[in-house]
Structures are given as structure tokens and as C-alpha cells.
């Protein structure tokens, strides 16, 4: 802010939080949206929010491409983005995922790992860099001009210990008119409806992942859009009898959604996925296939524009849909193979989050996530069945592109026979974003 009084208020706030030893959480502005459109997501710092909505068609060549650089002699522009982020994580209980809070990795009480204690961890793995290139291309025969975008992003969040500090490809896609092709968030991953939490995992109830895909997005009416496309398949089949074979799929995932923009601050989205699961038994094992589905409803409502209160929610259900739900990705949760059949399992997830702005630079998000898998009798007792997380944070941005934060996280992990484990974490962060 350019007013001296506002600067003094920020300075007093800074001194106050230093005294009470609180690091406050950052937020990320969305590059493609105007300032007033950030209500309700401005405080969000989840990595998913960085690419909350891919633009298509005329949106790509509109003037609203802030901080971009013109390439002289052409209609092209380029923008460099990203940030440097440092996280300090203090675990009070042992959890298998040191860098992001994944409650499915919490050890069950009474198991050897449950007697291990927490730890302190510093890392900068979420640091990332991206390049956004936009231009207009002309048809070789028709002469018609069409917008073209190429977006590439890397971070360092590689889980493999041997690749601890190696760059990891997050996004690599191109948009030509209304067609998107490449790797980015799945069609029904509604990033703009996610609560603004600091944890890199984004919450156990998150639906969808980054996948290679091709899709088409277009308008139905001014406030109603649709997306349809195909995505790379994924299948995870439980094999309790240790039969010969492997889980595969020989057809893509088909996905689509309809998005209703109620106003510039609020929306709802309804989507569906259809996929095949295939167990290929080879020479001695059974060969079976089954078809599954997932239905996903998400939304974001800004309740009070002046006070900046927002509600975010999402829920999904389906059969053979476990690979789409973050909490269930750590175990084979799509189905179970036996000698006679491939039985797909029902899975469900839900989350809700609330964001409140205390001042223009200070806000809080509270969120809860839950996921459940309907297991069957012949699965092992230690099979993950349900669990979730609770998050509460405080967000402060004293200067543009500079932010700090703190978040409390509690997680629960329950297995088939009713045993469970719990864990608690405090996470502090600092982020410096490329303007």
C-alpha cells in the first residue's frame, strides 16, 4: 500500500507477531485474474492454486497478462513465474510423509513405527519455476489467426530419495484455441474450490491429480462452460491372495464437467469420470476387467465481499475411484482381485473450508477433509479404510510477493479392523514470489 498510515499498521502487526513468535502463512495471487476476482482465494497458498484455471480461446490473447514481456517483432509475450519457499515442519508424532501431511502414512497404534517420535524438518522442495508463452498463429492455408499458449513448470518435490533435489515436471501443456493437450491437473480437479491451506498435499479429501490429457473447453452460455476429454489411465488393484498378474488398463479415462459461474467470485462445478480397470493374469493368474466411475461436486461461495468471507467445499463418490482420491492413493484402493472376479470398491471423499480476512493482509483458513473406502471381508485387516485431516492457519502478507505463515494439522488413519493412528504437526513457511 502507498499510504503511510497503512504502512504503520503493517509495521505494528509485524512487531506484534514477532513478540508472540508466530510465523504467519502466505498467499498466492492468481496471475490470470483481476484483483477483485481474488476474493475468497487470495489467502490460499496451496500449490494447486497456482494453476487454478487454464485459459482457452480469446482469454489467451486478452490484455490481462500481467508482468509479461513482449517479444519484439511478433504478437508473442512471455512471462516467468514461480517462487522460493522454505518450510519448517515440526512433527509431534511419527508420520511416514515428512514433507507433506498424508494421513494414510500415519502408523497404526501398536505397530513398531507408532513408537517412533516426531522430528524437525527444514526443506525448500516446493520451490518452483515456470514459463508461460502466449502468441497468435496464422493458418497456412486459411490465414485465420488462433491463440496459442505453452506452459511449463518444474518444482523439486520428488519423493524418490535418489532424486531428492532433482527438478520434477509439474506442468507441460499447450493450448490451441479451445484444445488443451499435455500434462496438467485432471479435468475434474477444481483447484479454485480448494481451501487455502499451507500443507503441500492439499488435504486428504483432494480429488484428482496431474495427468497427461487432451480436452476441449467451451461456453454453453455466458456463465456456463463445459469441458470434455481423455486422460491417461491409472489402476491400483488389491491382491490379498497374491495371484499372478498385474493391474493395467487398455483404454483411457473419459472425463467431463459443467461449470456454473454464479458471479465473478462464486461458482459450482459438477463432473464425472469413466474408466476401466483390468487385471492381466499372464500365464497362470486370472484375467478380469471391470468399469468404474466417479462423480465430483465442488464449489466456492464468497459470502460477504466487503468482509471477505468465503466457503469452499467438495464431495465425490464412485466405484473403482480410489486412485482419484489423495488419501487412498497410498494403497491399492480401486478394487480387489480373486480367482473368480475383479470386484471394484466404492470410495467417497468430502471437504469443507472457510476463509476469513481479518485485515487486507491477514486472513485465516480452517478446513476439514475426509475420505473412506468400502473394504470387503477378504481384504487384510491392515487395509486402509478411512481417515482425514484438520487444518487451521493464519495468513500474513506484509509486502507484495513476500509472505509468511503458520498452520496446525491433525490427521487420523483408520484400518479395516478398526485400529487407528493419529498425528499432529505445526508447519511454518516463508515464500518469496516472482512478481
| pTM confidence score | 0.84
Q: What does the pLDDT average to over 282-293?
A: 92
Q: Which residues of 31-64 are buried (b: 16+ CB within 10 A; e: fewer)?
A: bbbeeeebbbbbbbbbbbbbbbbbbbbeebbeee
Based on the number of CB atoms within 10 Å of its own CB, is 408 exposed (0-12), middle (13-18) or buried (19 or more)?
A: middle
Confidence (pLDDT) at 204: 77
Inter-residue contact 345 to 334 (CB < 8 Å): yes
Q: Among 32-36, 58-62, 321-325, 425-429, whose mean pLDDT is lowest?
A: 32-36
Whether 272 is in a domain gets the answer yes
User: DSSP secondary structure string, 381-425?
Assistant: TTSEEEEEEEEEEEEEEEETTEEEEEEEEEEEEEETTS-EEEEEE
Number of domains in the chain: 1
Checking phi first, is residue 202 left (phi over 0); if not, alpha (psi -120 to 50) or beta? left
Whether 416 is in a domain gets the answer yes
Whether 51 is in a domain gets the answer no
Cell 481474488: give the residue: 38
pLDDT > 80? residue 45: no
Neighbours of 78 (CB within 10 A): 15
Say how far apart CA 49 and CA 38 lie, in whole Å: 11
- Going from the C-alpha of 23 to that of each of 277, 427, 428, 432, the distances in angstroms are 46, 9, 6, 14
Confidence class of residue 164 from pLDDT cuts 50, 70 and 90? confident
Confidence (pLDDT) at 63: 59
Whether 232 is in a domain gets the answer yes
Domain region containing 359: 4-37+88-126+186-433
Whether 61 is in a domain gets the answer no
| Three cell numbers written together for 97 | 510423509
Whether 154 is in a domain gets the answer no
Whether 163 is in a domain gets the answer no
401-413 pLDDT, tens digit each: 999 999 999 999 9
Q: Among 55-69, 303-317, 331-345, whose mean pLDDT is lowest?
A: 55-69
Whether 57 is in a domain gets the answer no
Confidence class of residue 367 from pLDDT cuts 50, 70 and 90? very high
Say how far apart CA 375 and CA 365 lie, in whole Å: 33
Of how many residues is the chain composed? 435
CATH code of residue 284: 2.40.160
- Helix, strand, or coil (residue 370): strand
Confidence (pLDDT) at 420: 98
Amino acid at each position: 500500500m502507498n499510504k503511510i498510515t497503512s504502512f504503520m499498521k503493517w509495521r505494528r502487526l509485524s512487531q506484534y507477531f514477532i513478540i508472540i513468535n508466530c510465523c504467519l502463512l502466505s498467499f498466492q495471487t492468481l496471475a490470470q485474474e483481476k484483483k477483485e476476482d481474488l476474493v475468497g482465494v487470495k489467502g490460499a497458498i496451496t500449490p494447486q492454486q497456482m494453476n487454478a484455471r487454464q485459459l482457452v480461446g480469446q482469454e489467451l490473447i486478452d490484455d490481462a497478462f500481467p508482468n509479461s514481456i513482449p517479444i519484439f517483432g511478433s504478437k508473442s509475450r512471455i512471462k516467468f513465474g514461480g517462487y522460493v519457499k522454505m518450510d519448517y515442519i515440526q512433527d509431534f508424532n511419527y508420520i511416514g510423509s515428512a514433507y507433506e501431511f498424508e494421513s494414510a502414512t500415519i502408523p497404526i497404534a501398536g505397530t513398531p513405527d507408532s513408537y517412533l517420535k516426531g522430528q524437525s524438518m527444514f526443506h525448500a522442495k516446493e520451490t518452483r519455476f515456470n514459463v508461460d508463452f502466449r502468441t497468435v498463429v496464422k493458418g497456412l492455408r486459411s490465414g485465420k489467426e488462433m491463440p496459442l499458449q505453452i506452459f511449463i513448470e518444474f518444482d523439486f518435490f520428488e519423493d524418490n530419495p535418489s532424486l531428492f533435489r532433482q527438478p520434477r515436471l509439474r506442468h507441460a501443456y499447450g493450448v490451441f484455441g479451445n484444445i488443451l493437450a499435455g500434462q496438467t491437473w485432471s479435468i475434474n480437479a477444481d483447484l479454485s474450490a480448494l481451501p487455502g491451506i499451507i500443507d503441500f498435499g492439499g488435504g486428504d479429501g483432494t480429488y484428482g491429480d496431474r495427468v497427461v490429457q487432451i480436452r476441449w473447453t467451451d461456453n454453453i452460455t455466458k456463465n456456463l462452460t463445459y469441458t470434455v476429454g481423455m486422460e491417461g489411465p491409472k489402476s491400483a488393484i488389491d491382491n490379498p491372495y497374491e495371484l499372478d498378474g498385474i493391474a493395467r488398463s487398455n483404454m483411457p479415462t473419459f472425463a467431463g464437467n459443467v461449470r456454473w459461474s454464479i458471479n465473478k467470485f462464486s461458482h459450482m462445478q459438477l463432473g464425472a469420470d469413466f474408466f476401466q480397470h483390468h487385471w492381466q493374469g499372464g500365464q497362470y493368474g486370472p484375467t478380469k476387467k471391470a468399469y468404474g466411475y466417479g462423480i465430483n461436486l465442488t464449489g466456492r461461495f464468497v459470502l460477504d465481499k466487503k468482509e471477505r468471507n468465503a466457503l469452499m467445499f467438495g464431495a465425490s463418490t464412485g466405484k473403482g475411484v480410489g486412485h482419484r482420491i489423495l488419501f487412498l492413493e497410498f494403497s491399492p484402493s480401486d478394487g480387489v482381485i480373486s480367482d473368480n472376479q475383479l470386484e471394484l470398491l466404492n470410495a467417497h471423499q468430502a471437504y469443507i473450508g472457510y476463509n476469513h480476512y481479518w485485515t487486507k493482509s491477514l486472513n485465516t483458513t480452517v478446513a476439514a477433509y475426509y475420505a473412506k473406502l468400502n473394504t470387503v471381508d477378504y481384504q487384510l485387516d491392515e487395509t486402509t479404510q478411512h481417515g482425514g485431516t484438520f487444518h487451521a492457519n493464519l495468513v500474513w502478507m506484509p509486502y507484495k510477493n513476500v509472505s509468511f505463515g503458520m498452520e496446525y494439522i491433525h490427521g487420523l488413519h483408520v484400518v479395516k479392523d478398526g485400529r487407528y493412528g493419529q498425528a499432529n504437526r505445526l508447519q511454518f513457511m516463508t515464500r518469496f514470489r516472482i512478481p
